[in-house]
Amino acid sequence: MAKAISLDEYFKLSIPLLDVRTPLEFAQGHVPGAINLPIFSNEERVQVGTTYKQQSREAAILLGFDLTGPKWSGFIREALEAAPDKRVAVHCWRGGMRSGAMAWALGLYGFEVYTIVGGYKSYRRWALAKFEEPWKLVVLGGMTGSGKTKILKELQSGGEQVIDLEALAQHQGSSFGTMNKLVQPTQEQFENDFAFKLHRLDPDKSIWVEDESLTIGKRIIPGPFWKTMRHAKVINLLVPNTCRVESLVEEYGPLDPGFLIECTERVKKRLGPEQTKHAIEAIKAGRMADFIRLLLVYYDKNYRRGIEKRHPEQVYPLESDGSIKETASQVKAFWKTISATNLV
């Protein structure tokens, strides 16, 4: 017989999680690490739902069994692949008939089955509540090309707690942020992954994040977390322009010129027609350093506007020569100094 457990109880178990919702529901958003084992296809779920509304609950259940009858041996085989030791957790949208049916079938076969009370809906509530918590954030700022993302990775390698928002959003933040290859998750999945990352961190210790706009590509940082970021202290890296241009040329130079031109045209209103024209000419001529310098006029102005909206006493400038490892060490030591002076 299946045992109903809370989400917090599930997190303490090291067992696979089977999400029996449709592929469409799963793609929209799921618990990180969950395995989709859909009882119904997208079309079948619509059929069952329509029958439920137009006829009755009983008619919908009978239709559900008609549709899934030949599938049950396949479900069991897939569950065995996911959990050879026959210990699994199962959920559907809100812990109803779909997860109940799967739990019954797997239990009959000899699985030790746990069902999540409230289903996926409970995970969404839990995830959104995570962003309300009083996280101890430290924001790493600096103009485009300052190496913030690389420095955060170096800090993480050194044992610091880091949330890489751009990695979660699969976007590097600028108009060129997809890098012509990245595909962003849905907003729901971004939030799900984000909350799960937070869950694995120690709330009593500092967490480093990069200074970001409210939106990263088409994904939006959850409001409560964004508010915490805006009130957190910022270590603002001051990196020479030559270093920034060199770093950006190395990063964006290999990208397809057509992609760069398309992205540049998208910011034409903000960049200005003349600057846009010169930037595109530089791309076509392979003068990547000139292209980057033209873009930085816009991006630097935008960043200054954002940093000026913060309380001056919350911003701590730190000069850097652009080297990643040395700057990471500098940043870490600088933060310890700020903490030691009881400014945190």
C-alpha span between 180 and 200 (Å, rounded): 31
C-alpha span between 54 and 312 (Å, rounded): 62
Nearest to 144 by CA among 165, 168, 174: 174
Compute the C-alpha angle 180/186/188, nearest 5°: 150
* Beta carbons of 90 and 120 less than 8 angstroms apart: no
C-alpha span between 276 and 268 (Å, rounded): 6
The DSSP annotation for 180-210 comes to TT--PPPHHHHHHHHHHHHHTS-TTS-EEEE
Q: Which helix (H) or strand (E) holds 163?
A: strand 161-163
* Beta carbons of 59 and 45 less than 8 angstroms apart: no
Residues serving a catalytic function are: 92
